[in-house]
A and B are shown apart, each in its own frame.
Chain A
Amino acid sequence: MSALLEIDDLIVRFRHPGSMLDRLRGRGRQDIEAVAGVSLRVEQGSTYALVGESGSGKSTLARAIVGLVAVAGGSIRFEGRTIASAGQSDLRAVRRDIAIMFQDPIGSLSPRRSVRSILSEPFKVHGVDADLSQEVARLLTQVGLSPDFADRFPHQLSGGQARRVGVARALALRPKLVIADEPTAGLDVSVQGELLNLMNDLQAKLGVAFLMITHNLHVVRHVADRMGVMYLGRLVEEGATGPIFEQPRHRYTQALLAANSEPDPDADVQRLPIRGEVPSLIARPSGCEFHPRCGFALDICKTKLPELTGADGIRAFRCHNPAGVKTAETVPEPA
């Protein structure tokens, strides 16, 4: 059976203009790979979480799926049909089936339009014949807002309310896949819980699949069936959520989990097995891209990009010296 969304070896490149000085020196423009060969699949009605820090390419990947950025290599298939591959994209047939929610709850709503007009837009754009006022009321009720909200403008909504309107818009045409870019960003914890519960309810009711992009690992553990950890445009670890949380194999996943530990004053302030910051995509490190920050790097990590190990479908990772392996664990840590 084919999955709802299949991404194979996807590459997205951006032009890096370089500095004026570089150009004068005759050094040409260089391309940077924001997404460097990512493969993943999202099953019907499930939640897939894409995790990573800023600059990991997770938002770019999301934008590539809905055709906002061009694909340089690999392919994106939706229900078995190729919707994007190198240099071309054909989203027309699936536009209604894939919706995206952007990060800023209020900023992603057109500021001069009423909620009614914003929620009617998907129907108008796709020429769907429907009783718009009834549809708007239905959508608002569905996301737990009173139909009175139809006459509000975005600046009159709280972050949580604006986020609900965003969910309503995404669900307007009953899509099969909703891409949610940082759906909980900027929301208070109590509101965050309400939103995630709502998304979960709607998933159960409508059978919609979510591709959720987030840096909040706590949330991932509770809502995602599968997850992928991105670092510098590459998936370093990917698989079912439970096993990854139980025993992360990649050192970067391990560090991320440690950084997201339970809030407790008595918890040992762990010095993370990680140092420095995410390098720039212009200066992509050789070998395993994580080696300059890794506390467990071996010599081989500096030269050779590790292969994806573990093709059992439960989890896969790219690491020469993974966590939880006795023999490798004993390798002395470099200072």
Chain B
Amino acid sequence: MADDILDISGLSVDFRTPGGTLHALRDVNLSVKRGSVLGIVGESGCGKSTLINTVIGLLPSNARVAGGEVRFDGRDMLKMTPGQLQDLRGQRMTAVFQDPMTALNPVLTIGQQMVAIQYRSGASTREKRRRAAEYLAKVRIPDPEPRLGQYPHQFSGGMRQRICIAMALLAEPDLMIADEPTTALDATLELEVIALLKDLQREVGCAVLFISHHLGAIAQLCDDVAIMYAGEVVERGTVREIFHDARHPYTRALLTCDPGRIREATRRLPTIPGSIPDLRRLPEGCIFRPRCPERFERCAEHPGDRRITETQFAACHKALDLAPLERIEA
């Protein structure tokens, strides 16, 4: 049995567009260890959603997997039949999405939906309902029994997202994919959901692939982190390695830009000058080169993954030479 529940290697995905082929993902390597949480961070256009859609097998019709493997529990998902994938999804692999308002069917009660989602189990309806209530309690919804009879609109936004999490965990999956699950929530609720996810993940023991652009949430929840930029994973490592000793200039820029890390009040906030390259006309060499403050001649050739430690990799020629990142303090 493999150590990694999900192991992505060399994954490349192309899109056919009117303006030419768009290389949305290029040579992506990632793995999610059993029972651990991997966070994926990146700004818009970094390929997060394409990655998720590849894993859950919902790529649009103009996309093509150009290479690589996506192994779930050792088996390559890209070679599975639609039937095999169907068995995987909703059973061993479940998902929670960004918008808790549209993820639930408004005309069915929570109880009906939570019973329906257990259609694979042979248990009686009464037993399924009992389990539904049990999971509602797990996500700290008070009075779970009577609330099973209520409709989604009778719950607040934060509660709805917790119900979505309960439904994703009901199947006791090996992997839960959480795509920006806290983005639509207020800060105080976000923290609560993160704390809840953390507790539940330990309790149920499933692995989580957590996608967010919010560094605070990533830092609190994840064991490992991967940073994506313009379709590549530019750095990956344990959460401490990434937050305390980032080795890729993009990771560093991202951390520096977060106003939450700037201790002293300042009127001039750091930025990353420039914008992401056109993925139809890729620049030669390192993808971050046009915006990188550290660039030099060798960056014209693609650096490839450099190993920093057992667990940390960064795609940068200077990965080993950069000075430790200092906090900006006045």
* Interface residues in chain A, defined as those with a beta carbon under 8 Å from any beta carbon in chain B: 53-54, 158-159, 188-194, 196-197, 200, 215-219, 221-223, 241-242, 245, 255-256, 259-267, 269, 271-272, 274, 277-278
Contact of B220 among A191, A269, A278 (CB under 8 A): A269
Given A261-B216, A263-B215: A218 and B275 within 8 A (CB)? no
Contact of B43 among A190, A200, A262, A263 (CB under 8 A): A190
Q: Which residue of A lies closest to B189 (CB)?
A: A277
* Interface residues in chain B, defined as those with a beta carbon under 8 Å from any beta carbon in chain A: 43-44, 156-159, 186-192, 195, 198, 213, 215-216, 218-220, 222, 239-240, 243-244, 253-255, 257-263, 265-272, 275
Least CB distance from A210 to B in Å reads: 12
Given A218-B259, A219-B259, A272-B188: A263 and B218 within 8 A (CB)? yes
Given A218-B258, A221-B259: A255 and B253 within 8 A (CB)? no
Contact of A189 among B43, B159, B220, B275 (CB under 8 A): B43
Most buried by B among A159, A190, A245, A267: A190
Least CB distance from B239 to A in Å reads: 4
Q: What 7 A-B pairs come out closest when comparing CB atoms?
A: A193-B269, A218-B259, A190-B272, A53-B186, A188-B43, A263-B215, A193-B271
Least CB distance from A246 to B in Å reads: 10
Given A190-B272, A193-B270, A196-B269: A259 and B191 within 8 A (CB)? yes
Most buried by B among A189, A215, A256: A189
| A194 B260 Cβ-Cβ under 8 A | no
Residues of A within 8 A of B259 (CB): 189, 192-193, 216, 218-219, 221-222
CA of A266 to CA of B263 in the docked complex: distance in angstroms?
16
Contact of B188 among A200, A223, A256, A266 (CB under 8 A): A256
Q: Which residue of A lies closest to B215 (CB)?
A: A263
| A263 B268 Cβ-Cβ under 8 A | no
Residues of A within 8 A of B44 (CB): 159, 188
Least CB distance from A243 to B in Å reads: 12
Residues of A within 8 A of B220 (CB): 263, 265, 267, 269
Least CB distance from A184 to B in Å reads: 9
| A188 B265 Cβ-Cβ under 8 A | no
A-B pairs with beta carbons under 8 Å apart, 11 shown: A194-B271, A197-B268, A222-B267, A245-B265, A256-B187, A261-B260, A262-B261, A267-B219, A269-B195, A271-B195, A272-B188
| B267 A264 Cβ-Cβ under 8 A | no
Given A215-B186, A222-B262: A200 and B267 within 8 A (CB)? yes
Residues of A within 8 A of B266 (CB): 222
Least CB distance from B159 to A in Å reads: 7
| A193 B257 Cβ-Cβ under 8 A | yes
Least CB distance from A217 to B in Å reads: 7
Given A54-B186, A190-B43, A272-B191: A263 and B258 within 8 A (CB)? yes
| B188 A189 Cβ-Cβ under 8 A | no
Most buried by A among B218, B222, B270: B270
| B243 A263 Cβ-Cβ under 8 A | yes
| B188 A263 Cβ-Cβ under 8 A | no
Residues of B within 8 A of A219 (CB): 259
Residues of B within 8 A of A259 (CB): 187-188, 190-191
| A221 B265 Cβ-Cβ under 8 A | yes
Least CB distance from A110 to B in Å reads: 23
* A53-B186, A188-B213 known, 18 other contacts, Cβ within 8 Å: A54-B157, A189-B257, A192-B257, A193-B259, A197-B268, A200-B267, A218-B262, A222-B266, A222-B267, A242-B265, A259-B188, A260-B260, A262-B260, A263-B219, A264-B243, A265-B222, A272-B188, A277-B189
